[in-house]
Amino acid sequence: MLNGVSTVWLPVNDMDTALKFYGDTLGLTVKENHGEWAEVDADGLTIGLNARDSETPGGEGGAVIAFRPDGGIEEVVEKLKAQGVDFADGVADRSWGRVAAFHDPDGNVLELYEPPS
């Protein structure tokens, strides 16, 4: 019935700030930028950034995007911390892998995920 995920859309308050974060800080490729919406590529997965209407409520919940780190998870956490990204809980070891959670400038939850070895 379904054949994968084509795009994950995230609401953002400030497109320039979001593009700087996803493009410069995380190193993803900006594919398109049309002011009210933009797309970045995460190894074949399109992440759509959609400018939030001022009346759209924010809040907790929603999707979480987990990225595969290029290298060891600790190394990538340290590189992102050096760029001002806050990892409040550091790297957590779970039975299903290792994760390090952080937020984008709009409060969307993102993670680095390393599967168990």
Domain residue spans of the chain: 7-53+63-114
pLDDT tens, N- to C-terminus, the chain (117 residues): 545 666 788 989 999 999 999 999 999 999 999 888 899 999 999 999 988 765 454 555 567 888 989 888 999 999 999 999 999 899 999 888 899 999 999 888 899 998 887
H or E segment at 76?
helix 73-82
Contacts of 62 (CB under 8 A, 6+ apart): 108, 109
The structural architecture, per CATH, of the domain 7-53+63-114 is Roll (3.10)
H or E segment at 93?
strand 92-94
Cα angle value 47/51/54 (rounded, 5°): 145
One-letter identity of residue 60:
E
SS3 22: helix
Q: What is the pTM of this model?
A: 0.76
